[in-house]
Structure 1
Amino acid sequence: MALPTWDHPEPLAVGSAPVPEYGAGSLADLLPTLAAGMEVPGATAAIRELAPADRACVFLIDGLGWEQLRTHPDEAPFMTSLLASSRGGTGRPITAGYPATTATSLASVGTGLPPGAHGLPGYTVRDPETRELMNQLRWQPWTAPHVWQPYPTVFQLAHEAGVHTAQVSSPAFEHTPLTKVALSGGTFHGRLSGEDRMDLAAAQLGAGDRSLVYTYYSEVDGAGHRYGLDSDTWRGQLMHVDRLVQRLAEQLPPRSALYVTADHGMIDVPFDEQHRIDFDEDWELRAGVALLGGEGRARHVYAVPGAESDVLTCWREVLGEQFWVASRDEAIDAGWFGPTVDERVYGRIGDVVAAARDDVLIIASEREPKESAMVGNHGSMTPAEQLIPLLEVRS
């Protein structure tokens, strides 16, 4: 069934989208700022209020947005205490980058580059060489990692400069292509439990006079996708990760800084036809479309050759005020993917790019049954998805 949009509200202006703060306050600016404080050649301190530290640890909590943290102080008392100048730390929001999704954000944090440069501009994007969709989180179908993303990571640059670098995460991630192109450099240490990761991350911080350490926790995101932000399961995960942050903070060696951040926030979307527009059931949205990429709140739309203009017009008319809908060039010129887009990345971006403004999704019930059933979703440029915490603790 097509969404009843025969009155076709006035489309949102592309320029009204709140573009991420690339170069001053985005996730891609964090590691270069920390590396610059350790005098790593070529690193630039873009987040100017962060003072240098000899030892720095980034703890990335998958799916924990700034707005979700601020509205759950009882579940996260320790992190809430870091929102103000207490415990020797400060807290502020930064922007994830577009789209606000895990593969894109992990590449941004690890390379220190925006999506238009590192080349992972969505959950699924078209490979211009094969004309097939590539899932950049699962790396399917397999593509040569360092052809897809050729830039060195900040960890590699820091390691070459004599900084002790380490990643502490799930053993399952050690050999994945995404880890290779986004987070490699120095040594990888796999630990199953969050507590073991915190203890080892603290030990790795103290292993060098200059140290750069990364650690990660995924289950806040998983609980949000499966059960939603109002669920006891999600709140329980937030309580657990708050204790992990405190555990790590209390073990910091001297001259250290801990930075707690995330890859994106999240929004719950109701299960009805008004909020979940089914591409597989909507003939207007399907017309002229060869491939549907991205995810529900951040779509890359690849048109049949010659139909690009018609697809853009149709998507704007059908989606009205619910989405920012741009052509590829309009999205690039507006800075959605960063200040510039590399030539190799240009064709990975959709002919049409659609970013949700309201609490709506473009699902694909037949093509993407699992993704279409998720309660919590993310990807777009709304504050709930785009703003992520940057919390600091220093020893």
Structure 2
Amino acid sequence: MTPLAGPVYPAADQVTLPRYHHGSLCDVLPAIGARLGLGGADPLGLPAGDRWVLVLVDGLGQLQLADHADHAPYLASLLRGEGNHPPVDGFTSGLPSTTVTSLTSLGTGLVPGRHGIIGYSARHPRTGAFLNMLTWEGEDDPVSLQPHPTRLQAFADAGIAVGMVAPARFEGSGLTRVALDGPRFHPIHDERDEDGRVAAILDAATAGPRSVVYAYERELDHTGHARGVDSGEWRHQLRRIDAMLERVREELPDDVRMVITGDHGMVDIPEEHRLVVEDVAALQGDVELVAGEGRFRQLYTAPGCADAVADRWRRELGPYALVRSRAEAIAEGWYGEVDPEVLPRYGDVVVAMLADWAVMTRTLPGELALVGMHGSLTAAEMYVPLVVD
């Protein structure tokens, strides 16, 4: 593929820490709010505007977009600075670089250590059981674990017309409630209905003199998980999404600003680089629960055993992972400021996989079929585009 001309991008496996408060997903809605006159600072340098469309393309990493620029001419042109506003350089997701954490940071304007949605799965802070923070199975009150109001709700309370355009199944879901509560929901019943989706975005964007629309596209991520980023199917989805976004821009009124971003990048993991916890004796002892993602494991250990577990995992994984205690990860800024009630949700030991390696577990069999994965702090996963047109 033809690399994107312009900025020099880092090696995909370079360690990249989140740029909280300086250029990460938690800064987007505060920046838009500042432009809408709601106070606060704009750390992103967005242009003036009273009507905004914010599109999040699940799985759209900046390095993958740069590598496949010829399949996304519209987005690539915006990354080159050919749109109405220059892109935000060095923009990152939070950590872990995964959907539930990213969407909650986007929607609340908070770092992960404050909103507490710390990854795909974790230990339930009340019951100690395994908790899936994407589906919220077994938890009837997700908002009790993320009680902070969303920025979208604050916009609505200020009299701004706020809309959300997303698949119908997400209306009222646990993740929507904790991350994106507040907008008028515009359900997409058939995700193949591009005309309907574009019309819904236009309708929501023109609902008032001041408006904010959040629109969500998920097929790139699903295809990357199933087929990999290095697949014809993934490139097909990128071409489709690029053309749809260009169409949205063309049909929106000129005074509407369109912001496009992603929630994480993705890395294809070869079979020979997948370690299975149950097959490696050194990875098992004193670990009571394995959660998180294959690229970013949260390990909950027996009392008093965290240091020993961390030492064994470091020896076993060597240069293929960064293994940190909870305190070490916090001190290095992985999660931003961490509230006391969120602190015990993080693993006693956290394991960020490097290069194209992953740690799998048979307790989560659905993950074993994934090709593309994300969650860690490599540049390929952490950098996401933020472009304005």
After TM superposition, the structure 1 = structure 2 runs for residues 177-188 of structure 1, keeping only pairs within 5 Å, are 177-188=174-185
The correspondence of residues 68-147 of structure 1 with structure 2, limited to 5 A, is 68-92=64-88, 93-147=90-144
Q: Corresponding residue for 1:382?
A: 378
Answer with 134-143 or 164-173: which moved more.
134-143
Say whether the 8 Å CA contact 1:22–1:28 is kept in structure 2.
Answer: yes
Q: Which moved more, 1:69-78 or 1:57-66?
A: 69-78
Give the drift of 1:137.
0.7
Corresponding residue for residue 292 of structure 2: 294
Q: CA deviation at 1:25?
A: 0.2
Name 1:341's counterpart in structure 2. 338
**Aligned pairs (5 A) from 1:18-37:** 18-37=16-35
Corresponding residue number in structure 2 for 1:282:
280
Matches within 5 A, 1:235-274: 235-272=235-272
2:322 is matched with 324
Do 2:83 and 2:388's aligned partners in 1 also have CA atoms closer than 8 Å? no
Give 2:197's aligned residue: 197
Query: Is 1:197–1:215's contact at 8 Å kept on the other side of the alignment?
Result: no
- The answer as to whether partners of 2:59 and 2:218 remain within 8 angstroms in 1 is yes
Asked if 2 retains the 8 angstrom alpha-carbon contact of 1:75 and 1:239, the reply is yes
Aligned equivalents of 1:143 and 1:311: distance in 2?
A: 33
Aligned-partner SS, 1:343: coil
- Contact 1:75–1:235 (8 Å) recurs in 2: yes
> Are the aligned partners of 1:21 and 1:95 in contact in 2 as well (CA < 8 Å)?
yes
- Gapped runs of 5+ residues in structure 2? 1-13
The CA deviation at 1:17 is 4.8
CA distance in 1, matches of 2:208, 2:103: 25
Distance 2:157 2:148 in 1: 14
Aligned partner letter, 1:201:
I
Partner secondary structure for residue 271 of structure 2: coil
Identity of aligned residues (%): 41
TM-score, normalisation: structure 2: 0.93
Task: Tell me by how many angstroms 1:133 deviates.
Answer: 1.4
**Paired residues of 1:57 and 1:259 also in contact (CA < 8 A):** yes
Structure 1: distance between partners of 2:33 and 2:140: 30
CA contact (8 A) 1:127 1:347 kept: no
1:31: how far off?
0.8
Q: 1:161 aligns with which of 158, 164, 184?
A: 158
> Residue type of the partner of 2:150?
T
- How many Å separate the matches in 1 of 2:266 and 2:16? 16
Q: Using a 3 Å threshold, how does the CA distance of structure 1 residues 150 and 267 change in structure 2: closer, same or farther?
A: same
Provide the rounded CA distance (Å) in 1 between the counterparts of 2:205 and 2:41. 22
| 8 Å contact kept, 2:16–2:382 | no
In terms of mean alpha carbon deviation, does 106-115 or 80-89 score higher?
80-89
Cα separation, 1, equivalents of 2:238 and 2:49? 28
Provide Cα deviations, 1:321-342, integer angstroms capped at 9, x if missing partner: 111111001111111011x111
* Aligned residues of 2:47 and 2:85 also touching (Cα < 8 A): no
Count of residue pairs the alignment pairs up: 372
What is the SS of the residue equivalent to 2:91?
A: strand
Is the Cα contact below 8 Å between 2:36 and 2:50 reproduced in 1? yes
Letter in 2 for 1:144: D
Displacement of 1:256 in angstroms is 1.4
In structure 1, the partner of 2:56 is 60
Q: How much does 1:199 deviate?
A: 2.2
Decide whether the 8 Å contact of 2:321 with 2:352 is kept in 1: yes
Between the aligned partners of 1:391 and 1:18, the Cα distance in structure 2 is 20
Q: CA deviation at 1:250?
A: 0.6
Partner SS state of residue 280, structure 1: helix
Paired with 1:17 and 1:332, the residues of 2 have a C-alpha distance of 16
Structure 1 residues 17 and 334: alpha-carbon distance in aligned structure 2, compared to 1, 3 A threshold:
farther
* 2-structure distance, mates of 1:173, 1:102: 14
One of 37, 60, 69 as aligned partner of 1:39 = 37
**Counterpart for residue 8 of structure 1:** none
Residues 20-42 of structure 1 show CA distances to partners (whole Å, capped at 9, x for unaligned) of 0000100110111001110125x
The one-letter code of the counterpart of 2:301 is A
Query: Which aligned runs of 4 or more in structure 1 are off by greater than 6 angstroms?
Result: none
CA offsets, 1:61-119, max 9 Å, x none? 00010011111122111111111232424324410110000111010110011100110
1:143 Cα deviation after fit: 4.3
SS of alignment partner, residue 49 of structure 2 = coil
Give the deviation of 1:141 after TM superposition: 2.2
Using the size of structure 1 for normalisation, the TM-score is 0.92
Q: How far apart are residue 278 of structure 1 and its match?
A: 0.6
